[in-house]
Amino acid sequence: MIDTNKSAFDEFKKIHALYDLDQDKWQEKFNEEGEKIIKIVKEWENKLCKQSEKAGYSNYTGSLAEKFQSEVKKEFPLIDRVGLIIKKFTIKKISL
C-alpha cells in the first residue's frame, strides 16, 4: 500500500509531523492530505477483507480490519483527527 502510493504517504508524513507540533496552524492542510490517505487505506482494507471473506474466513475479517487499522495508527497516530473542524472557544467578559 505504502510502496504503491509512496508520494502521497511521504507528503502526509511531513504534514503529520507538522500537525503534531502545531495543530491549529496545520489543521486544514492535515485534513486535505489526510483525506487522500484515508481513501487509500480504506481501499486497501476493502481489498484485504474481501479476499478473506471470499476464502471462507468471514468470521475473522472484523479482527483483521482492526489489526490493519492498528498498523496504520502505529505509523500515523493522529490519523483519527483527519476531518476535524476545530472552532476556538472564547468567553466574553462581563462588566459589572
- How confident is the chain (96 residues) per 10-residue block, as mean pLDDT? 91 94 91 94 88 72 86 92 79 81
- Kindly state whether residue 89 falls inside one of the protein's structural domains: no
Predicted pLDDT of residue 7: 93
Range of the domain at 21: 6-81
Contact present, 78 and 22 (Cβ < 8 Å): no
Inside any domain, residue 32: yes
Total tally of structural domains belonging to the chain: 1
**86: in domain:** no
The torsion region of residue 94 among left (phi > 0), alpha (psi -120 to 50) and beta comes to: beta
pLDDT score at 87: 73
Task: Confirm whether 15 is domain-assigned.
Answer: yes
